[in-house]
């Protein structure tokens, strides 16, 4: 079962020659979730080719600064031109609805599909999306305007039966279904075999947290505690801490400290200021790894796999 992240953009407010603004795609069991939609997102989707527009049904927007939403309007138009018919779900602060309504008034007449808007309260930690295999919850962030990250959690998978028990107890197909759903087994002799003995969890649920843009926040660390993969913005190197605070962003060291405090398994940093060209990004990696060794700077077009930890 796939659980992977593809980074489409790693720059902050200004795009550079080599870096696009923020956009991530999370693949959970071949269902694709777009997180933020900076300028050029659809170009990056085409460039990296393994993500089909038609599979994007849910878009999560962290906040309403341009480098996180300017790509949304072109993407909406392209989906219409491509003949999309399925609903497109957009999750964001309620102010985006007014922007979208005005855009559609001029550019969305007789669109081939409908946009379903889901207002998000950026000040609380709550579940805003749920399906059969995962949940998405908000992570309140500290920024100049209302902003939230998103925490994607895989649900506990259905239990598997130890194969040797199927033959040993001559378990029928019907009983297999019941056992997988948590029931005990009653044998022909009248004994009851506990479900915990018959089954095992095939793998531990996986998780990904997206946190951009934000100042250092211990509340964030509490919410994302123990996640498999944390993306945390690091707009500035540590020697520009004053600038980071003035603009309500984080430094490399602060991102590393959040990961350390939260006890996450792996940290990715991005949202780099345009003042830094690509040749300077090794300094970001050096600084963040000094605080939290299991860290990397994001690379656009790279897919980061979160492997399933087998339990059998």
CA distance 254 to 260: 10
CA distance 46 to 233: 25
User: The tokens of 144 are what?
Assistant: 């100049």
DSSP string for residues in 126-176: -EEEE-SSEEEEEEE--SSS--EEEEEEEPPPPPEEPHHHHHHTT--HHHH
**Is 283 in contact with 236 (CB distance < 8 Å)?**
no
For 60, phi then psi, to 5°, come to: -115, 120
Whether 67 sits among the annotated catalytic residues: the reply is yes
> Which of 67, 80, 228, 242 is flagged as catalytic?
67
DSSP string for residues in 247-298: TT--BHHHHHHHHHHHT-S-EEEE-B-TTS-GGGHHHHHHHHHHH-SSEEE-
In this structure, the number of other CB atoms found within 10 A of the CB of residue 265 comes to 15
**Is 76 in contact with 42 (CB distance < 8 Å)?**
no
**Is 60 in contact with 91 (CB distance < 8 Å)?**
yes
**Is 150 in contact with 62 (CB distance < 8 Å)?**
yes
CA distance 288 to 299: 15
For the purposes of burial, counting CB atoms within 10 Å of the CB of 91, is it exposed (0-12), middle (13-18) or buried (19 or more)?
Answer: buried
**Is 228 in contact with 261 (CB distance < 8 Å)?**
no
Catalytic residues: 67
């Amino acid at each position: 079962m796939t659980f992977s992240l593809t980074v489409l953009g790693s720059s902050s407010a200004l795009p550079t020659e080599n870096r696009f603004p923020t956009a991530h795609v999370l693949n959970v069991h071949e269902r694709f979730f777009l997180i933020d939609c900076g300028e050029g997102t659809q170009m990056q989707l085409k460039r990296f080719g393994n993500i089909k527009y038609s599979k994007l049904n849910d878009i999560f927007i962290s906040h309403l600064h341009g480098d996180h939403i300017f790509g949304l309007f072109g993407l909406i138009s392209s989906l219409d031109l491509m003949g999309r018919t399925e609903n497109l779900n957009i999750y964001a602060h309620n102010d985006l609805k007014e922007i979208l309504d005005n855009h559609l008034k001029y550019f969305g007449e007789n669109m081939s599909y409908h946009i379903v808007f889901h207002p998000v309260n950026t000040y609380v930690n709550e579940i805003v999306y749920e399906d059969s295999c995962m949940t998405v919850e908000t992570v309140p962030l500290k920024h100049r305007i209302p902003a939230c990250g998103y925490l994607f959690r895989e649900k506990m998978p259905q239990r598997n039966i130890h194969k040797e028990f199927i033959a040993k107890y001559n378990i029928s197909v019907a009983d297999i279904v019941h056992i997988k759903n948590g029931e005990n087994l009653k044998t022909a002799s009248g004994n009851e075999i506990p479900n915990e003995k018959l089954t095992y969890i095939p793998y531990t649920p996986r998780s990904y947290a997206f946190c951009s843009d934000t100042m250092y926040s211990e509340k964030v660390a509490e919410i994302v505690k123990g996640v498999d993969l944390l993306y945390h913005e690091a707009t500035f190197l540590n020697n520009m801490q004053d600038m980071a605070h003035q603009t309500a962003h984080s430094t490399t060291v602060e991102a590393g400290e959040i990961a350390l405090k939260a006890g996450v398994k792996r940290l990715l940093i991005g949202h780099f200021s345009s003042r830094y060209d690509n040749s300077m990004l090794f300094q970001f990696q050096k600084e963040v790894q000094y605080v939290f060794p299991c860290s990397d700077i994001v690379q656009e077009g790279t897919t980061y796999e979160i492997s399933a930890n087998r339990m059998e």
